[in-house]
Structure 1
Amino acid sequence: MKKNSHFKLLWNSFLFNLHYLPLKQAIKIPIFIYNPTYISKLGTIKIEGHIKKGMIHLGKYSCPMYNKGIKWDNKGSIIFKGHCHIGNESFVSVGKNGILTIGEDVTNTGKLKIICAKEITIDEHNRLGWETLIMDTSFHPLFDIEKQTFLPAIRSVHIGANNWLGMQCVVMPGANTPEHCIFGLRSIITRNAPIESYCTHGGTPLHIIRRNVKRILGKDQIEY
């Protein structure tokens, strides 16, 4: 049974790679996709740098709290700059004019939601907690009565390198974080929030809780 499951994973992943990548890259199967539900595959995928088998995992069963698989809705452009792990029950949606860029060593355990209408950039060595939501659009523009015009409903998002987003964080349109930031449980990260490097942020509205701290990858786990 396990052999059949492994063969199914490799076969489905090979077809996924073949759809998106040049043949020389596709035959290496750099992207493993687990139990996908496809909404759209009209867009493109580009992998920059050295290509290695299984360097990108999409929807891998990593967290027992969530169901298996990933929902995939790509009508735009997705760029991977290295290794990436997106956990189970996640949803990735890129609109026809959207560009999603994911840096080297970006990891999520489960239930990540990314909605990209224009541009979302996630730099290297990011850790995205359970149920993180990243979106560059509110979908519904408001009308400014005095100026007689609609306010922008789409703003680019940039998450700096070595950020750590705790469980259920929400990254709103226009957010721009520097490197080495930590965001606590259910932080709402907006474009005007006070954000500094080497700080822990939290609360509503977002504020700095502690300065001069950082997460050291590889030395940041406890036994459970």
Structure 2
Amino acid sequence: MRTLYHKLKFYRKVNWLKTLYFNFKKFNFLTALKLPVFFYGPVKFQNINGRIIINAPLKRGMIGFGQPYEKTTVHKGYAELAIEGTIIFNGHVQFGKDYFVYVAPDAVAEFGHMSSMASSGKIICTYKVILGDYARIGSESQILDTNFHTMINTLTGEKYSIKGPVHIGSFNYIGNRVSIMKDTVTPDYCSVASNSVCNKNYVSLGQNILIGGVPAALLKNNISRDWEREKELLLKWLIIKL
């Protein structure tokens, strides 16, 4: 049970101006009153004209942008949101400090229950990005479902696809400074070593695996984060109960 002091201390971290503006702009009145989305610290709304869908029981602060759940305590002020397409939240979701989230027109980004992107993370979705339940992504990582620029085969003139879907499985642990590129698919119960580049379908490697490297390849079988213990801690400390 949190004391009044701890509640007030927590509420001081919320950017109430951005929180109220976002909720009442994007949701109907009754939904907005529940304040399902919290913003913490400074953030620039580059564009928030897209659709926000919550496929879960509404709870106050269940989606946290800039949520203070890491060791760092200071916002650098880099957080930016550009939602022109559709974002789907299937439960509680956390974004760390100084995030950048871009969803292009006609693109869809979907986040599973208790999925997260830690501080200084970047998501650029021009087609489709899906994070499963408990897909936990480390700091300074990025998800890009596009190459941005068209690449060609200089011998044949063939043009390579500029974009491809990204699907991160459930109960994935992605280390820090990982780049997840277009056409990446990971199985459930997959871990990715820090400083890796993922760029293909890894499902055939099975579950309970560690992949890593540039580009990422299988490093170890029969290994997993202790998710039963982790789930207990995440639900205890990251669910807003005020």
Fold match (TM-score > 0.5): yes
SS at match of 2:227: coil
Cross-structure match for 2:57: 50
By how many angstroms is 1:107 displaced?
A: 2.3
| 2:141 is equivalent to residue 132 of structure 1 | yes
Cross-structure match for 1:15: 21
- Unaligned 5+ segments in structure 1 are none
8 Å contact kept, 1:59–1:69: no
By how many angstroms is 1:57 displaced?
A: 0.4
| Displacement over 4 Å in runs of 4+ | 192-195
Q: How many residues end up aligned between the 2 structures?
A: 219
Identity of aligned residues (%): 26
For the residues of structure 2 that align with 1:206 and 1:196, how far apart are their CA atoms? 15
8 Å contact kept, 1:195–1:207: no
By how many angstroms is 1:60 displaced?
A: 2.4
- Unaligned 5+ segments in structure 2 are 1-7, 234-242
Q: Please, what is the CA RMSD of the aligned residues?
A: 2.2
| 2:207 is equivalent to residue 201 of structure 1 | no
| 2:220 is equivalent to residue 213 of structure 1 | no
| 2:48 is equivalent to residue 41 of structure 1 | yes
Counterpart among 140, 156, 169 of residue 165 in structure 2: 156
For the residues of structure 2 that align with 1:122 and 1:157, how far apart are their CA atoms? 8
By how many angstroms is 1:150 displaced?
A: 2.0
For the residues of structure 1 that align with 2:15 and 2:154, how far apart are their CA atoms? 54
Q: What TM-score do the two structures reach when normalised by structure 1? A: 0.89
8 Å contact kept, 1:66–1:110: no
For the residues of structure 1 that align with 2:51 and 2:185, how far apart are their CA atoms? 25
> Is the helix fraction higher in 1 or 2?
2
8 Å contact kept, 1:177–1:195: no
1:53-132 maps to which residues of 2 (within 5 A)? 53-61=60-68, 62=70, 63-64=72-73, 67-68=76-77, 70-132=79-141
By how many angstroms is 1:112 displaced?
A: 1.1
By how many angstroms is 1:192 displaced?
A: 5.1
> Is the strand fraction higher in 1 or 2?
1
